[in-house]
Amino acid sequence: MNRPFGRSQAARDYFVWVVSRTSADKATIINELEQQVWPYIERGKFKPVVYKTFALADARGAHELIDSGTHFGKIVLTTGADLIG
C-alpha cells in the first residue's frame, strides 16, 4: 500500500486539512501567520528543533526516518558546503 507521508497519521491529517481549504481560507491563514507568527521568527523567538542531520549522500536514511514516523523535529540534509567557513 502506497501511503503518502509514510506512516505519520498527523502528516496525512494535516495534508487533508490543507487541501480541503478554499483559496480564501488559505490566504487568511497566510495573512495571520505573517502578522502573528512571523515577527517572532524574525526576532529569533522560535527556533526549529533539529532531530537529526544527514549527509546528502544518505538521503535514503533521512527518508526512512521520516517514513518511520518516530522523530520529532526537523530532519536536515547537509551538502558539506554548509560546513565550510
Domains held by the chain: number: 2
41 lies in some domain = yes
pLDDT in tens, 50-80: 999 999 999 999 999 998 888 889 999 999 7
Residues 18 and 43 occupy one common structural domain: yes
Q: pLDDT tens, 2-38? A: 454 455 677 677 777 778 888 898 889 889 989 998 8
Specify if 17 maps to a domain.
Answer: yes
Segments forming the whole domain that contains residue 85: 48-85
Neighbours of 46 (CB within 10 A): 11
Domain co-membership, 60 together with 74: yes
Q: Who has greater pLDDT, 74 or 82?
A: 74
The reply to whether 69 and 80 lie within a common domain is yes
As given in the structure block, the three cell numbers for residue 58 are: 544518505
pTM check: above 0.75 = no
Q: CA-to-CA distance for 72 and 22, rounded, in angstroms? A: 29
Residue 75 CB contacts under 8 Å (≥ 6 apart), including other chains: 51, 52, 53, 54, 62, 65, 66
